[in-house]
């Protein structure tokens, strides 16, 4: 009985050592890649902060087609699991358009903002299976609040109309504005064309 307990203890210790060693390597790799000097940057500091967040949390691993993967990707078993996660992640959400918009200081699309907001609110990303090894991938409450505030700012600046009530300016689906801008000349041409239509009695 003592021999079984000893073997079990040694086995558990070996697993713990392997886990800590692999986690340490992953942390080193993630920390190094997040600080690379050749990473593209925006002229806007807030955009760079969001870009840094996405890179630090490893979002590009599964949500872009060409991320640099860690060495353990080539370990049999890990490779198949990561290939599955990458395929599913890229199919669910392509991060390329978000990064391009941030680099160019352009508005991020409403659909992409909605997706990021949802996973932040419900804490579904990064998944637990990822953060079990990538400790730096965990999102703190402060980081989550900053990303949600950035989303609200994007909506208010680019998508909310002037007559939208303050309490609705951060809605995923914006209310229809009471007035729409139009050009009188084009409006007149349209009305003229309609009035001359042979299908109108």
Q: Would 201 be classed as within a structural domain? A: no
Q: Is the pLDDT of residue 25 over 80?
A: no
Q: Would 78 be classed as within a structural domain? A: yes
What's the distance, CA 41 to chain centroid?
Answer: 17
- 57-81 tens-digit pLDDT: 989 889 998 788 877 788 787 788 8
Q: Would 197 be classed as within a structural domain? A: no
Q: Is the pLDDT of residue 199 over 50?
A: no
- 150-178 tens-digit pLDDT: 999 999 999 888 777 777 788 877 767 76
Q: Would 68 be classed as within a structural domain? A: yes
Q: Would 198 be classed as within a structural domain? A: no
Distances from the Cα of 100 to the Cα of 18, 46, 47, 51, 195, angstroms: 38, 14, 11, 10, 45
Q: Structural domain of residue 99, as residue ranges?
A: 1-171
Alpha carbon distance 25, 173 (integer Å) = 43
Alpha carbon distance 153, 106 (integer Å) = 13
Q: Is the pLDDT of residue 4 over 50?
A: yes
Q: Would 199 be classed as within a structural domain? A: no
Alpha carbon distance 195, 190 (integer Å) = 9
Q: Which residues of 9-44 are buried (b: 16+ CB within 10 A; e: fewer)?
A: eeeeeeeeeeeeeeeeebeebbeebeeeeeeeebee
Of 88 and 8, the structure prediction assigns the larger pLDDT to: 88
Residue that is written with structure tokens 């599964």 in the block? 62
Of 114 and 55, the structure prediction assigns the larger pLDDT to: 114
* Count of domains for the chain: 1
Q: Would 189 be classed as within a structural domain? A: no
């Amino acid at each position: 009985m003592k021999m079984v307990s000893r073997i079990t203890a040694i086995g558990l210790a070996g697993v713990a050592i392997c886990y800590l060693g692999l986690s340490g390597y992953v942390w080193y790799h993630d920390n190094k890649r997040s600080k690379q000097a050749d990473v593209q940057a925006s002229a806007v500091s807030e955009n760079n902060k969001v870009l840094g967040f996405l890179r630090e949390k490893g979002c590009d691993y599964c949500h872009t087609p060409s991320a640099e993967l860690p060495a353990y990707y080539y370990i049999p078993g890990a490779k198949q699991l990561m290939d599955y996660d990458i395929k599913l992640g890229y199919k669910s959400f392509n991060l390329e358009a978000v990064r391009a918009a941030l680099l160019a200081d352009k508005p991020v699309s409403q659909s992409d903002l909605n997706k990021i907001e949802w996973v932040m609110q419900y804490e579904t990303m990064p998944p637990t299976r990822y953060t079990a090894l990538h400790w730096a991938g965990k999102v703190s409450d402060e980081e989550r609040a900053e990303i949600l505030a950035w989303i609200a700012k994007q909506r208010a600046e680019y998508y909310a109309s002037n007559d939208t009530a303050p309490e609705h300016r951060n809605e995923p689906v914006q209310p229809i504005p009471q007035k729409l801008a139009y050009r009188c000349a084009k409006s007149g041409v349209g009305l003229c064309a309609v009035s001359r239509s042979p299908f109108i009695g």
